[in-house]
Amino acid sequence: MTGEENLTDLENKLFEIPEAKFLQLVNFLEKNLERGGDTTPLRLLLSKMRPRMVQVRPPRRNTVKRQLCRPFEELLYNTKSQLPVDGRIPRTAIEPVYKMFEEEAEKGQIAEMEQELGSLAIDDPKCEAIGSKIWAMGAVNLRSLMVRNQRDAISRRDLVEKIKGEHIFKALADIVEILEIADIVQSMRRQLPPRPIQTLSTGVIKIIGDHMDRATKFAAKKAETLLLVAMSCLEKPWEIMEALEKLASEKKQPVDPALAALAIRALVTGAEQRLETMRLDLEGGDYKPDSETLARQIADLAKTMLGAKAAVQASGQGKGLDRQLERARRSLRDMVHVNILNGADQAMFITGIGGAGGITNWDEPPDEVRLREAEQRAIALRLCVRYAEELGLGGEAEEKLSNLHEQLTGITQSTIDTLHGRYFSTKQRGAVEANLYASVRLIELLAGPDVANDLRLKGVEALSG
């Protein structure tokens, strides 16, 4: 078995591991990750474990690095792209930025804080006080580093090379901006509901507005930094425009055009970034989503694009952003064609039931791996139909779903017709039942329970006759 197959096998079994054992495994991997060296295999393994980690939410190790990242953790995202994104920070920036943070600190200072944090739970109130020291130290030292290295073109070039690219340099600048108002950011996060915030209530808008005012008193442009953090906490980030309008109305003044422009730009470039990350994953990244996961990502991105488009139109920010969104929508539509619609027929007819003649293999149950792929493809098709109009698919997805449903229903009915009065060995009966129920399950996923239940009852009757 190859390494990739081993990882796939692990990924399939992650939800079967008892929670206590899973938490021990996460803790073991993170400890080894912090030791340095070649961490690529560990990072790949953790990327496979992320879906279960989201569900379980294991307590994370309490370290200076983790405390440093707390004020901007909502802005972090995974990508291999080197294109900078407004309002987002690539996870690849953490290591080079933290290395510079260590280099700029006084000798032994970080070790002392590391030891102190190691004795505290990550939610211990004392961590906040230590965190404030870390954020202040990072803000001062990293800002000083940037100032020193931007006095001339050569110094700037050397810094960009050291941290591995312009996109990391931009992330460094964004991190410094946030660290300088980290206490205000943390205060806002404590008062806001748990993210993602589903309802942009009057109370939520007031909390965001009050903290933007506090940030503005620190420095005129800090409200923009806080706005980006607030957007990342919302389930529907495009609703931030509604918040800006209400806040401006209360002050009896127009929406700040700089804030509006930043919010809209962040929405559009954020949608483009997510699309690019999905594309890179599909082209052979460390993580390649299955059809169902991809379809859910596409559906979520389609919603984001719709929200961003409405916000762009309402804001009057110009046709350039509209064109960006339209290009992204076309790319997303092509992704659906290539990865979900194309090949759906072959993916669906994988059980022992196949072709107009019904059962083709009386002795073997369906292959479990291929059956799971077929189920995921069926769910993906249903999701694509829901967002077909927004993706510009017209009736293609619905027609594909309808045709597959009709074909599979006809094949399953033909199979049931051949079962009446037929003798089966014990092995054959088990295989026939497994194939029949597999087809019925796919029909249920494609078209709902009514037709599926009818076929299920007919199949049971035929087998018992």
Q: For 307-359, what is each residue's pLDDT tens digit? A: 888 888 877 765 678 888 888 888 888 888 888 888 888 877 765 555 444 45
Tens-binned pLDDT, residue by residue, of the chain (465 aa): 444 444 445 555 666 677 777 777 777 776 666 554 445 566 667 766 666 665 555 556 788 999 999 999 989 887 777 777 777 898 889 999 999 999 999 878 899 999 999 888 777 888 889 999 999 999 999 999 999 988 888 888 998 898 888 889 999 999 999 999 999 999 999 999 988 898 999 999 999 999 999 999 999 889 999 999 999 999 899 899 889 999 999 988 888 888 888 888 888 888 888 888 788 778 765 556 788 888 888 888 888 888 888 888 877 765 678 888 888 888 888 888 888 888 888 877 765 555 444 455 667 788 888 888 888 888 888 888 888 888 888 788 889 889 888 888 888 888 888 888 778 788 888 888 888 888 888 889 988 888 888 888 888 888 886
Q: What rounded mean pLDDT belongs to the chain?
A: 83
The residue type at 125: P
β-bridge partners, 234: 197
Domain ranges of the chain: 1-59, 62-180, 181-253, 256-339, 343-465
**359 near 400, Cβ under 8 Å?**
no
3-state secondary structure of 367: coil
pTM: 0.72
Beta strands in 3-99 (DSSP E): 76-77, 89-90
In three-state form (DSSP H/G/I as H, E/B as E, the rest C), the secondary structure along 194-233 is CCCECCCCHHHHHHHHHHHHHHHHHCCCHHHHHHHHHHHH
345, containing H or E segment = helix 344-348
Per the document, the length of the chain is 465
- Distance of alpha carbon 223 from alpha carbon 203, whole angstroms: 18
Output the CA torsion 390→395→401→403 (10° steps): -170
**96 near 163, Cβ under 8 Å?**
yes
